[in-house]
A and B are shown apart, each in its own frame.
Chain A
Amino acid sequence: MIRILKDLSKRILNSLFGRKEDIKLGFYGPPNAGKTSLANVICKDWTGEDIGKVSDVPHETRHVQVKEKVEIDYKGKKLTFKIADTPGIATKVDYEDFLKYKMNKGTAKKRAKEATQGIIESIKWLDDMDAIIVVLDASQNPYSQVNITVVGNIVARKKPVLIVGNKIDLRKANLKKIEAAFPDYEVVGISARKKKNMDDFYEALFRLAKKI
């Protein structure tokens, strides 16, 4: 109840006096969808610095990474974000999956433990976010338990959500499948690696910010 009243008064104040606080924008999704790659493109574009390291090995991001004061000036409109890039959410973390990346057993087990910790941390951060970007790999089946649970829980918390289908440069990519899986939400297709369709993304991001 107190939270609802707080949110309401924040919204009224924001609409009366313009937004004073930075928008807390969380990047959520399964591992290896490209959350850090997309957050890096945004941070590099507007602050000149990356937010984190990317890798082909799943669970590269194992702690929430934050970039403060990311001021985006897009087509004459300005918004300042606090960007939180979160570890990928999974229902299973198995060190054996890391062994094929030429990792030794000890390192792989440590990575699995940290990835599990990271998932718990990601979920804990959700309540603190104003809006969420769910990043999905457009070349993968969107109807996964993780995707549905993540989107469902964000919506249940009444957080505005934008779904990004990343990796549309891949031949297997199928954005329509993501749109069909989540018909109630805006879906934007991009390639963070090739910086493709970033204009569409920024347009959608500003529309998302209006919903806060």
Chain B
Amino acid sequence: MPNQCIHCSEIYGDGSEEVLKGCSKCGSRFFFYISEDKLKKIRESSEEEIKLSSEEKRQIEEDVRDIVGIKEDEAPIVMDFESVKVLKPGKYLLDIQNLFSKERPLVYKLEDGKYIVDLVASLNRSDEKTI
């Protein structure tokens, strides 16, 4: 699935090395997965900007890193699924059934239907694939 940089909204294809090394436009390592359908919609409607202020994006990244427990700023986070949505700094929606479910990873999502974080998978990836 393609990834979108949360800070500058740049879109990268599946498996792009920018996700590991940082966005080539703004250097951020904070991305979310984006489905092909969503990508198509974004391209058609040209609404690729994420509707949060840069201060809100920065705060959300800081909060998510804190909640996830990733200390290094360099570790990339790719967000996926929908267990925990971060609507804005200080506003969270939790799908507790997903959180209870062992089969599904723990996740975050920013703004309804758009911005997503994957907690467990991000952590596992850093162990297993050194993302």
Query: Is the pairing of A and B real?
Result: yes
| In contact, B100 and A153 (Cβ under 8 angstroms) | yes
Question: A153 contacts which chain B residues (CB < 8 A)?
Answer: 97, 100
Contact A120 B84 (CB under 8 A): yes
The interface-forming segment of B22-30, B72-80, B86-94, B123-131 is B86-94
Q: How far is the CB of B60 from chain A (nearest CB, A)?
A: 10
Interface assignment of B66: CB less than 8 Å from any CB of chain A: yes
Verify B100–A149 contact, CB threshold 8 A. Answer: yes
Q: Size class of A's contact patch?
A: 20 to 34
B63 proximal to A (CB < 8 A): yes
B95–A91 CB distance below 8 A: yes
How far does the alpha carbon of A89 sit from the alpha carbon of B84 in the complex, in Å? Answer: 13
Q: Is the CB of B92 within 8 A of A112?
A: yes
Query: What chain B residues lie within 8 Å of A145 (beta carbons)?
Result: 96
Which residues on the B side are within 8 Å of A126 (C-beta)? 100
* A95 partner, pick from B90, B93, B119, beta carbons under 8 A: B90
Q: Mark A123-134, 1 if CB is under 8 A from B, else 0.
A: 100100000000
The closest CB in chain B to the CB of A126 belongs to: B100
Nearest Cβ on chain B to A71's Cβ, whole angstroms? 31
**Which residues of B pack against A, CB within 8 Å?**
59, 63, 66-67, 84, 89-97, 99-100, 106, 119
